[in-house]
Amino acid sequence: MQIQPGIVRAFRWLDSDNVSDDPRLSASGPVRTEYDRWIPFLFLHLGCFGVIFTGTSWFAVTTCLVLYCIRMFAITGFYHRYFSHRSFKASRIAQAFFAILGLTAMQRGPLWWAAHHRAHHKEADRDNDPHSPVVRGFLWSHLGWLTATKNMPTDYTKVPDFLKYPELRFLNRFDWVIPLLLFIGLYGLGQYLQATMPQFQTNGLQLIVWGFFISTTILFHATCSINSFAHMFGYRRFDIPDDSRNNPILALVTFGEGWHNNHHRYSNSVRQGFVWWELDITYLILLCMSKIGLIYDLQPVPDAVMRKVALKERES
C-alpha cells in the first residue's frame, strides 16, 4: 500500500532531525513563510478562545501565571544564557532538567534554539540573520521565520559543545513529547481537582485552556518580541553594527531579555542589565542558584565594558 505524501510529511514533523531530499531544506533553499506550517500556531491561538466555554477560576489563572514564569526563566536562563551563550556552567542533571522545562514552552528543542540564536548573533541584522526585522520586516522576525522549512532542522555544527549528551539530542529530536505530556498532565490535574476539591472550581479543560493555550501563547509572543520589537524600539547605549535596543517594558515581561543592546555588546555575560535600575530578573535568579551551588562559573560583564557604561551614565 502506498502511503500518501501528505501523511509522510506529517510524520516527518514528529522527527525534528529529519532531513529529507526536500530542496527547501538546502542552504540555497527559499527563505519564505509556508502556510501549512502556520497550523501549529493557529491551533495554539485558537485554543485560547476555549475560555469562552470553560470560564475561569483563581486556580486556573494562577496556573497560567506560574507556568509563564517558570517557563520564561527556563527559556531566558537556560535556552538563551546557558545553551546559546554558555554564560555559566551547570551539571548534566541541571542542564537536562531545564531543557525539559524549556521544552514545555513549545519553542522547539534547546539545541535547535541555541543553533539559531548563535546564527542570529553571528549575522545580526544582516542578510543571513534568521529573524531580522531590519532585513525582512516585523512579521517575519516575530513569527514568519518559524514557518520556513529551511529553518526547521537543527544545524548541529553550531552547537558542537552539546553533542556529547545523548539525552539532549533525544529531547531536541522529539521536541513535541514534553509539551504533549504537559497537555495531558494539566487535563489530569484539572479532572482530579474537580473530583476531590470542588472548591477550586476548575476542571481538566479549563486548566488546558489557561495553563497550556493562554500561558504558552503569551509566553511565545513575549519571547518573540525580543527578535522583533527589541530591534526596532528602545534606546541604544552602545553604538554597535546591529540595530539591537534596550527596552524596559520588554525587559520586564521577559525577565531581563529586553536589555538587548547591552546583550549584543557583550553576549557572553550572564548579566544583561548593566546598571542598577536595569532590572534583570533572570540574572538575579541565576545568582541565587549559584549561591547554593546549583550552577557555577558565572561570566561577568568585563570591567572595561562596565567602565564605559559608568562613564555614559555620568555624562547623561
Digit-coded pLDDT (tens) for 58-103 = 999 999 999 999 999 999 999 999 999 999 999 999 999 999 999 9
Q: Where are the domains of the chain?
A: 45-237
Q: pLDDT below 70 — which residues of the chain?
A: 1-13, 18-31, 315-316
C-alpha 237: how far from chain center: 25
Digit-coded pLDDT (tens) for 220-248 = 999 999 999 999 999 999 999 999 999 99
Position 38 scores a pLDDT of: 87
Position 10 scores a pLDDT of: 54
Stated pTM of the model = 0.92
Pair 16, 109: CB distance under 8 Å: yes
Position 11 scores a pLDDT of: 54
Position 30 scores a pLDDT of: 60
Residue 197 DSSP one-character state: -
- 3-state secondary structure (DSSP) of residue 295: strand
Task: Name the phi and psi angles at 90, rounded to 5.
Answer: -145, 160
Position 2 scores a pLDDT of: 44
